[in-house]
Chain A
Amino acid sequence: MRFDPRLLVPIIILGLTSVGAYLVGTRLRILDASMLSRTAVDVLETLGLAVVFLVGNLAVGTAGILVFRALTGHFVSVYVVSDAVLPILSLIQALVLQRWRERSR
């Protein structure tokens, strides 16, 4: 499969705005450059938490549908839990929990 250079477009856009935010933030002394690596680790923790939430949501959703089918005899497709919104909602769950933990300190 030939490499499609259009794949780079979102990466280039993200790179440009990230560098811009870094320059503006550090020049205006809003951001501390020395905290960047620590922040990256925090973000990875949040992503890890989102993965945990996603797996949990998938497990609860699938089990719930199977139990519902068994109890009521009505058919609900398990495919409904594979909707693209679930990973996004799981990430929001993780963000809320992390921010909540920080505020609770």
Chain B
Amino acid sequence: MGGVNPVRAGLAMLGIGGLLVFVAAAFTPLPNWLNAWLAGTPRLERADAIVVLGRGGSDSDGVLTNRSLRRVMHGIELYRAVLAPRLVLSGTGEEAEARATLARGLGVPQGAIVQVGAARTTAEEADQIAQLLLPRAERRILLVADPIDMPRARAVMEHVGFRVLPAPTAATGPTAPEGRLALLRDIATEMASLAYYRITGSL
């Protein structure tokens, strides 16, 4: 009888770990708790501008992705609540355009909309928005982002000089196993992005 192969034992332990993560992610509220925790406490107060960061762009036919749509709808809701006189819509060129069209269609005046297009990363978005708003002394912003994106988005916007009031979109997240798995994947991706930003000095 041979001894235990350490490589195979290690793989089996790793397999148990992977299985436990899978079960916890799919069948428990763990991803939802992490989502709500990352969102932090919203501060829906008067600000100089509402900034809706890009997320996922739009499909080839110009239809916004689910998350992009949820963000812009939340931004429009905040504008209608008269929390700021300006609505800044960021994202890829098509995404910002589609968002502006939607906002106008829902009654936001053209003069209140500021489009920031062609940004590829959150850091680029922050730089472009800072160039537009900070010269006008519009420093206090309501920042609209997904709960999981809020820590990095907030840090990046504060890094370029804004005073940020977090306004995350809905913070509980999906309850079906497939949605929860996707949420945990997105949380892991976002944590990796946060680490990358810290390592490269973007924060």
Contact = CB atoms under 8 A, between A and B. Distances in A.
B120 interface: yes
B17 A51 contact: yes
Interface string A1-35: 10010110011000000000000000000000000
A86 B57 CA distance: 21
Interface string A76-98: 01110010100000000000000
A84 B183 CA distance: 11
Contacts, number: 60
B123 to A, nearest CB: 12
Contacts of A46: 11, 15
Interface of chain B, main secondary structure: helix
Interface residues of B, number: 25
Nearest to A50: B18
Contacts of A41: 12
A48 B18 contact: yes
Given A41-B12, A45-B11, A51 B18 contact: yes
Interface of B: 8, 10-19, 27, 29, 32, 120, 172, 175-177, 182, 185-186, 189, 193, 196
